[in-house]
């Protein structure tokens, strides 16, 4: 395989979000783009097709299915229908880009899939690279800070199964302290004895860095004043900037 020389000069500036676009060091001669495109699309086994992850109208380099090789597991990890999930995600992101609407991707965990930091690092990174502006994922006790550190977009912690209230507050606190932008809780809110008090306690953990034990004391104090049922799903996120 031929090798390319190391590029000289400063690294070009790019947009911080996705789709990823180069800002400066653009060629002044459009002929350069045309000649480059002619050369890369002339490579053996390469065809041109519609993009699945970039902005509408972008030209995509695709491998000809009749000549592409390599093991199928070299692409993505996950469940049986992972390829369809990726395809659907790219279409949703494209629609969001056209409408100016942010998209949140969610990591799913099947019964036979490992729920650890290694899996979530890869899954969250894939979702972000596909163009999602936010990623919702589950908390893991070991290595969650590596999940948030390796993802280029904000991560929101999923509430998951119903937990004792102190455990849920502790999980939310740890997730935010380890880099999550916020939490997205369902049953840990509306299955609480007092959803309004639980929302207030979660808000204090996320926005005021209140320790779990103190947040639980706040919950009990508010509960003593009388419950108020709220059947809704609530997200609490850090203020941007």
| HSE (side-chain half, CA atoms, 13 Å) at 120 | 24
202 touches 233 (CB < 8 A): no
Closest CA to 174 of 200, 150, 143, 198: 143
Task: Give Cα 180 distance to the centre of its chain.
Answer: 11
> Is position 136 annotated as part of the catalytic site?
yes
- 200: enclosing H helix or E strand: helix 195-208
Rounded Cα distance between 147 and 155, Å, is 9
Q: Which of 136, 161, 162, 196 is catalytic?
A: 136
Q: Which residues are catalytic?
A: 136
């Amino acid at each position: 395989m031929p090798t390319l020389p190391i590029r000289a000069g400063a690294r070009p500036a790019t947009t911080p979000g996705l789709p990823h676009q180069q800002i400066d060091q653009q060629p002044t001669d459009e002929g350069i783009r045309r000649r480059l495109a002619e050369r890369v699309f002339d490579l053996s086994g390469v065809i041109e097709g519609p993009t699945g992850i970039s902005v509408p109208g972008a030209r995509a380099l695709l491998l000809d299915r009749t000549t592409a090789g390599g093991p199928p597991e070299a692409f993505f990890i996950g469940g049986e229908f992972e390829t369809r999930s990726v395809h659907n995600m790219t279409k949703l992101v494209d629609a969001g880009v056209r409408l100016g609407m942010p998209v949140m991707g969610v990591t799913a965990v099947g019964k036979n899939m490992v729920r650890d930091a290694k899996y979530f690092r890869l899954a969250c990174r894939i979702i972000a690279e596909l163009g999602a502006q936010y990623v919702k994922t589950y908390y893991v006790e070991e290595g969650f800070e590596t999940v948030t550190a390796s993802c280029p977009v904000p991560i929101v912690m999923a509430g998951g199964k119903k937990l004792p209230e102190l455990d849920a507050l502790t999980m939310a606190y740890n997730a935010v302290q380890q880099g999550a932008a916020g939490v997205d809780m369902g049953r840990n809110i509306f299955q609480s004895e007092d959803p309004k008090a639980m929302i207030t306690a979660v808000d204090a953990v996320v926005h005021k860095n209140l320790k779990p034990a103190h947040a639980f004391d706040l919950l009990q104090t508010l509960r003593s004043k009388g419950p108020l049922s709220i059947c809704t799903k609530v997200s609490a996120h850090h203020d941007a900037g």
